[in-house]
Structure 1
Amino acid sequence: MERFDVAVVGGGPAGSAAAHAAAESGASAVVLEKGVPRADRPDRLGPDSTDAAGILDYWVDIMGIHPDEMPDDVVVSTLDRAEFIGPNESLVLHKTGFDTSYDHFGFCMHRARFDDFLRDRAESAGAEYRVKASVRDVVTDIEGSPRHTVRLANGEDVAADFVVLADGPQRQITNKVLDRFLSFDVTDRLATTKVNHIAYQEHRRLPEDVAREVEGAIKFWWGYMPGHTAYPWIFPNDDNVARIGLTMPIGMDLSAVEAREKYKLLRDSDERIPQGREYVRRLLEQEYGDEYDVETDFPVVEDRGKSKGTETYAISSTRPIDSPTAAGIAVVGGAMGATSAFHEGGDHTAVRTGAIAGELAGAGDLSAYNDRWKEAIGDEVRRNVAFADIVCDYGPDDWDRSFAAARKMMEASSSDKLFNLDVGTVRAGLSVGRLATRFKKAKYKFRGDRYVQLFADEYTV
């Protein structure tokens, strides 16, 4: 049986970052990744895509990797704004409001190339990265040496002193492992169908005029489809291609939707929530159908994405969890809920949590991990959790009111920096005051580490 200092389950951004950091610390590290084929990665198996692959300026510093460190083909477009579109109101942001090391508003990237960059980076540091290495279980003996035996689908075992769980938001291995350290069923808190959204996107080539219109902008439509943090988007890539998609809760019941006639992407004839591809078609028809034939003028680019220009994947919609570090186990990235359906992904938080776990495991002591990840991404998580809490029951009219209030908020501050605005200084009317007060209260509700879904002291190690 092979033995390593650190075994990493899952080879996405969090897993590759963990292996890189562990190897940089001088430890022996192996990444175990089942590997999936992708149309845009024809000669190499790799991890499954788990987000829409966009990075804002201040996320660069959270991630700890600057685009200048990446191969030229990873960044496919730079961004100068975000457009938030409600049924009747809209909002445009040109600045996030944070001092950062990155000069643009953000960038969009080629996800498979980004994954490959992180893999190559880990291997260059001395880590091993194995594909077709599907993990079935992790058996832990706290008093053993090594403590962990990672069981693979091919019947082989890998032994390690430390295990980093980076198997993404579906948590196929993470839930199985954590369940053994809990006095209750792990699915009471982390049932995958309840703590994840489903995301779907298509790579489509845009007409020249539309490509110029969306150049530099990530666009989000709020209040157009029902569901908590449910929204469609357009992200521009290169060569007039954009990723057009959406995220929505899993298993929604259309009959439970109130005022369904107000949602522009629903139809009277709908008997159930539309599928992702239908939502995308309706969005394009609504925005561009008067001038273009959507299927002819917005063709799907079949050599991009996972399969024939499309991608479907889970994305975490829960709050993050602590890890049972006393057992030599750290959970990172989507598996710990550090990514977020509210801000469409979280490669930056995945990479950062993975790097922290790998560094500590490589040094032989994970005990500081739960404190370290909170120091690194706690403010980011608290913001997203607070916003998601505020908009939990929003309908189309609520989004319009909020966008109108937010626009007044920015005008009153002589700035378009909304993300980091000092809401206590705003004097722009009652509606703005209410929005600012709700946000302050939501953040206070999650003060300290109260945004954590599962605390370290709940594990029985």
Structure 2
Amino acid sequence: MKRVDVAIVGGGAAGAAAAERAAAHGAETVLFEQGVPREDREALGPDSTDAAGMLDYWIDIMDFDYREIPDDVIHRELGGTEFIGPSTAVELTTTGMGASYDKFGYTFHRARMDDWLHERAEDAGADLRIGTSVTDLETDLRAEGPAGPTHTLTLADGDQLEAQYVILADGPQRRITLDALDQFTPPGRSISDYLSPPEANHIAYQEYREFPEELFEEFEDTLKFWWGYIPGETAYPWVFPNDGTVARVGLTMPIGMDLADVDNPGAYKLLRPEDDRLPSGSEYIRRLLELEYGDEYDIDEEIPVVEDRGKSKGTETYPISSTRPIDSPVGANIAVAGGAMGTTSAFHEGGYHVAVRSGKIAGRLAATDSLEHYNDLWKDAIGDEILRNVAFADIVEDYTPDDWDWAFDVVTDMQGDTNDNVLVSNRYSAGIDAMKILGAYKKRKFKYRDGRYVQFPEDKYIY
């Protein structure tokens, strides 16, 4: 049986970043990625659904110099974002965070970014096996040797491989992660209780649409989000400008939600009285486009789907982790990174940046026999970002359309006549309502302080 130092399950952002760091630090490294086809990719690759965008400080979280990233990865530089409520809206032109990148951010081609990370991993010496899936992982806690436990990975073709360290980066679907971690959970407990995809994930759907030039110019450097238009916790449609005059139009919503779960269907602009069920993603998008642009444009003829983009005929459906993260069983020589561990968030449409950074940390530590420090170091690197996401997601969990209008009015007042970050320089200028938002945010941050946003800590594992 072949033996390697580090085996990585999953070839997305976290897995590829882990492979590059592990190989660069001298470890014999192999990465397994099942691979999916795409209309705009010649070969198999990871499930590279286009990410929403990259904000300025996220590049620093990834620990990249923005000048390293190839030009063909970036679709369009951004100048700001617009949050649209049912009756009001607010525009932001700064994240308010210190960053080395001098723009608000950019949209990018996710498949090309993943391919670039793969090239970096291969150049560092990692063995990338795209189109090869892992079907089982078993850990020997009694393995002899100074490095401790070892692992046997079974591949789809029946071959097996032994590894000293394993990094699980199989994304929000967690095909291998759940069973692999259940080896170390107490009787009667399961990691599925925390990370079961139907419970812990949202579903996202998007279409690539070609816009008339004069219409595209209205948002060519702006991310647009519509809050309070569809029901569900952290549920919202969006439009993101890509290259040319193509934009991605999509939405995120909870999995398995039913119309009966909606308290006041008539309050949501994209629901109709005749609906006997919640619309599909494609129907939601059609209704959004008709609402926003239907008075002036024929949606099918003048804003058509671009069928040679995305995974299938101009459309993509994909899961997004929407839960709090877990620690890894580092005592078993296992690290979990990216969406598999729950670090990504539906609140900001994924989390490519935190996936890359957690993967980098896991790969470096596995290669240097230092994996015991992983749970501390990923919190040091991305904990503030996760704390913000968890806190804001808690605040808006039960927001209705009226609540979104109220919040955006408050933010507009907090901005005053400047473009400063609204939660920093003008946070008191809107009076009592601003203090309500600020107070709720501080309360949530205090609740999850010192890493308490972790829902399954390291000391709960049994070895």
Secondary structure of 1:101's aligned partner: coil
For residues 158 and 267 of structure 1, what CA distance do their matches in structure 2 show?
55
Residue of structure 2 aligned with 1:278, choices 283, 287, 296: 283
Partner residue in 2 for 1:39? 39
Which residue pairs with 1:30 in the alignment?
A: 30
Aligned to 2:91: 92
Match of 1:147 in 2: 150
TM normalised by structure 2 equals 0.97
Which residue is equivalent to 2:118?
Answer: 119
For the residue of structure 2 that corresponds to 1:378, the secondary structure is helix
Measured after TM superposition, the shift of residue 121 of structure 1 is 0.7
Query: Which residue of 320, 326, 332 maps to 2:325?
Result: 320
CA RMSD of aligned residues (A): 1.3
Which deviates more, 446-455 or 11-20?
A: 446-455
Question: Residue 269 of structure 1 aligns with which residue?
Answer: 274
The amino acid that maps onto 1:13 is A
Q: Residue 416 of structure 1 is aligned with which of 403, 417, 420?
A: 420
Match of 1:162 among 158, 162, 165: 165
1:186 is aligned to 2:188: no
Q: Which residue of 2 aligns with 1:446?
A: 448
Counterpart residue identity of residue 107, structure 2:
C
2:130 corresponds in structure 1 to 131
Asked if structure 2 preserves the Cα contact closer than 8 Å seen for 1:3 and 1:159, the reply is: yes
CA contact (8 A) 2:208 2:247 kept: yes
Alignment of 1:197-346 (within 5 A): 197-346=202-351
- Which is further off, 57-66 or 348-357? 57-66
1:350 aligns with 2:350: no
The separation in 1 between residues aligned to 2:261 and 2:237, in whole angstroms, is 20
Q: Give a deviation string over 1:133-174, Cα, whole Å, max 9, x none.
A: 111011100222670011111101111100000000011100
SS state at 1:120 partner: helix
Counterpart AA for 1:445: K
User: How far does the alpha carbon of each residue in 1:393-413 deviate from its partner, in whole angstroms, 9 at most, with x for none?
Assistant: 00100000001111111228x
Residue 444 of structure 1 deviates from its aligned partner by 1.1
Instruction: Tell me the TM-score normalized by structure 1.
Output: 0.97
Between 316-325 and 50-59, report the one with greater CA deviation.
50-59
Separation in 1 of the partners of 2:48 and 2:447?
33
Instruction: Work out the CA distance in 2 between the residues paired with 1:99 and 1:319.
Output: 25
State the aligned residue count: 457
Greater CA deviation, 3-12 or 176-185?
A: 176-185
Kindly state the Cα deviation for residue 186 of structure 1 after the two structures are TM-superposed.
Answer: 2.1
Q: Which residue of 2 aligns with 1:83?
A: 82
Change (3 A) 1:51 1:448: farther
Q: CA deviation at 1:70?
A: 2.1
1:2 aligned partner? 2
Matched AA of 2:421: K
Question: In the alignment, what sits opposite 2:399?
Answer: 394
Separation of aligned partners in 1, 2:77 and 2:96: 18
Residue 332 of structure 1 aligns with an amino acid whose one-letter code is A
Contact persistence 1:49–1:313 (CA under 8 A): no
Matching of residues 10-21 of structure 1 within 5 Å: 10-21=10-21
AA in 2 matched with 1:254: L
SS of residue paired to 1:73: helix
Q: Is the 8 A contact 2:4 2:162 kept in 1?
A: yes
Q: How far does the alpha carbon of each residue in 1:277-333 deviate from its partner, in whole angstroms, 9 at most, with x for none?
A: 001101000000000000111111111101111000000000111000010000000
Partner secondary structure for residue 214 of structure 1: coil
Q: Which runs of 5+ in 2 are unaligned?
A: none
Q: Which amino acid aligns with 1:417?
A: N
CA contact (8 A) 2:413 2:429 kept: no
Q: State the one-letter code of the partner of 1:450.
A: R
Partner Cα distance (1:416, 1:86) in 2: 21
- How far is the alpha carbon of 1:421 from its aligned partner? 2.0
Identity in percent: 58
Shift of the 430–53 alpha-carbon distance from structure 1 to 2, 3 Å rule, reads: closer
Q: Amino acid of the residue matched to residue 124 of structure 1? A: D
- Aligned partners of 1:20 and 1:121 also within 8 Å: yes
Instruction: Determine helix, strand or coil for the equivalent of 1:213.
Output: coil
- Once residues 416 and 217 of structure 1 are traced to their aligned partners in structure 2, the CA distance between those partners, rounded to angstroms, is 17
Cα displacement string for residues 198-251 of structure 1 (whole angstroms, at most 9, x for unaligned residues): 000000100111110011000000000000000000000011000000000000
Cα distance in 1 for partners of 2:401, 2:168 equals 39
Unaligned 5+ segments in structure 1 are none
Q: CA deviation at 1:105?
A: 0.3
Corresponding residue for 2:54?
55
Contact 2:51 2:352 in 1 (8 A): no
Q: Find the aligned partners of 1:213 and 1:53 in 2 and give their Cα distance.
A: 18
Distance 2:27 2:331 in 1: 19
Aligned position for 2:67: 68
Q: Report SS of the residue matched to 1:77.
A: strand
Cα distance in 1, alignment partners of residues 401 and 394 from structure 2: 16
Contact 2:22 2:367 in 1 (8 A): yes
